[in-house]
């Protein structure tokens, strides 16, 4: 295995050992403000904002920084002291890992066999997750990734999702195993990886501002600011585009002009639409004539609302202004410092009868 491989899959046990073998200790990295610390913060930031952890600027980082950023990210997430943040971080690590696995399995399937040691094969990841005897190909094809797998019933029940497609009653169950398709394997692996990542988090015994984590103060401040932008806006469940704040309207128009939104922009837009009570399917319809693709919308909105009911609201006007998205139009900061609050106040100010966009479309 190679440094590149560990950089891509830093949660592997072998990667953990590789960190040890590098002979650097985390304390020193943190004290020196090494690049891995910077990358670690970005890792968490991206997890919370975009639901993934791959670097936006991969050429900036050495494999070693990538690898070392993982333990740093875990320390940062632990210090955030938020169960929801840990859940989202773990889901984001798993999402990126699964995308890499899909690439790697496909590369192993192109007939060239493994051309680089940076790729992870199916047996290795199954073994790593303690699933090697539990998930097996339904049939052996020497050179190709099989189309079907069989999963032991217990493991299937532990790893399957909640949706109807996973209901056991409709599944092919025989001799204690459940048949799944290749694509479904990735979903099960994603769950297993997410649990592996979340396991052991938060770290015990870390106190912000003390000991080895003292130098992380400013990184934490930035992450916490992202988190604290959950503002106390009352529950909104009304969609009327004419009253959207200007920043959101601008983002919508940009997307409708066919321009690809930056990650931060689409996060802001999706968080706003979710925050005003829209379901993923409704958002897909709402943004049908735009550069946003349905799959991306679904993915992003699913992680914005989690089943505990905590939501990630869009960033505040101040943060949006730093990104050049908010320009304090109509001096609205005086009355509302947040897009959701701004929208809510506009809804309340409006005197004539308003129509919810959803009622309008449903009636058609």
Partner 1 sequence: MDDATREYLRERFGDYYRQSTVALPPAANEREWGHIPWTPGTGTTMVRHQSQLDLGDVDDFLARESPRHVYFSAARYTDPSASTMSQKGWRGADLVFDLDADHLPSVDPSEATYAEMLAACKDALHRLLAFVEADFGFDDVSVVFSGGRGYHVHVRDPEIQDLDSDARREIVDYVLAENLDTDGLIRTVSAGGTTRRVLRTEGGWGRRVHAALVAFVDDLDGLDESAALERLTAIDGIGEGRAETILGAVSANREAIAAGNMEAGGPGIRLLADSLAQRVADAESAPIDEPVTTDTHRLIRLPKSLHGGSGLVVTPIDREALDAFDPLVDAVPEPFRGGSVEIDIDEPRRVELDGDITKLEPGTHTVAEHVGVFLMARGEAEKV
Binding residues for partner 1, rule: CB under 8 A, are 152-154, 157-158, 164, 167-179
DSSP letter at 235 equals P
Nearer to partner 1, 55 or 153 (CB): 153
Nearer to partner 1, 4 or 171 (CB): 171
Q: How far is the CB of 191 from partner 1 (least distance, A)?
A: 13
Q: Where are the alpha helices (DSSP H) in 59-82?
A: 63-80
Q: How far is the CB of 171 from partner 1 (least distance, A)?
A: 5
Residue showing tokens 């199954």: 126
Nearer to partner 1, 62 or 167 (CB): 167
Q: How far is the CB of 175 from partner 1 (least distance, A)?
A: 5
Q: Could you write out the DSSP letters of every residue in 136-173? A: EESS--TTS--SEEEEEHHHHHHH--SSGGG-GGGS-E
DSSP 3-state assignment of 49?
helix
Nearer to partner 1, 235 or 308 (CB): 308
Rounded CA separation 137/212 (Å): 46
DSSP letter at 226 equals H
Nearer to partner 1, 64 or 177 (CB): 177
Contacts of 46 (CB under 8 A, 6+ apart): 52, 53, 54, 56, 92
Q: How far is the CB of 153 from partner 1 (least distance, A)?
A: 6
Q: How far is the CB of 200 from partner 1 (least distance, A)?
A: 18
Rounded CA separation 310/308 (Å): 6
Q: How far is the CB of 185 from partner 1 (least distance, A)?
A: 16
Nearer to partner 1, 176 or 211 (CB): 176
Measured CA distances, 172 to 144, 167, 178, 310 (Å): 23, 11, 6, 36
């Amino acid at each position: 295995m190679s440094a590149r491989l560990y950089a891509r899959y830093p949660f592997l046990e072998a990667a953990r050992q590789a960190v040890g073998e590098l002979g650097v200790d985390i304390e020193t990295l943190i004290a020196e403000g090494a690049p891995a610390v910077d990358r670690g913060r970005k890792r968490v930031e991206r997890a919370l904002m975009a639901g993934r952890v791959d670097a936006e600027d991969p050429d900036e980082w050495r494999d070693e920084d990538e690898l070392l950023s993982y333990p740093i990210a875990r320390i940062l997430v632990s210090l955030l002291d938020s169960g929801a943040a840990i859940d989202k971080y773990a889901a984001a690590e798993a999402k990126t890992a699964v995308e890499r696995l899909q690439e790697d399995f496909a590369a192993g399937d192109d007939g060239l066999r493994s051309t680089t040691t940076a790729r992870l094969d199916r047996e290795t990841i199954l073994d790593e997750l303690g699933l090697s005897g539990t998930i097996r190909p339904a049939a052996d094809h020497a050179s190709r990734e099989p189309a079907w797998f069989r999963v032991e019933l217990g493991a299937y029940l532990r790893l399957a999702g909640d949706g109807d497609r996973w209901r056991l009653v409709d599944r092919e169950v025989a001799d204690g195993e459940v048949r799944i398709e290749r694509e479904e394997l990735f979903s099960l692996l994603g769950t297993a990886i997410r649990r592996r990542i979340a396991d052991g988090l938060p770290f015990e015994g870390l106190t912000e501002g003390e000991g080895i984590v003292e130098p992380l103060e400013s990184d934490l401040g930035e992450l916490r600011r992202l988190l604290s932008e959950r503002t106390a806006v009352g529950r909104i469940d009304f969609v009327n585009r004419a009253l959207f704040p200007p920043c959101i309207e601008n983002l919508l128009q940009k997307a409708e002009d066919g321009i690809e939104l930056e990650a931060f922009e689409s996060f802001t837009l999706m968080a706003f639409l979710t925050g005003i009570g829209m379901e993923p399917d409704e958002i897909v319809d709402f943004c049908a004539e735009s550069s946003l693709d349905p799959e991306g919308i679904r993915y992003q909105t699913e992680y914005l609302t989690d089943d505990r009911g905590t939501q990630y609201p869009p960033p505040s006007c101040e943060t949006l202004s730093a990104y050049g998205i908010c320009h304090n139009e109509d001096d609205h900061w005086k009355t509302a410092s947040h897009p959701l609050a701004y929208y809510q106040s506009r809804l309340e100010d409006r005197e004539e009868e308003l129509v919810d966009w959803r009622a309008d479309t449903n009636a058609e």
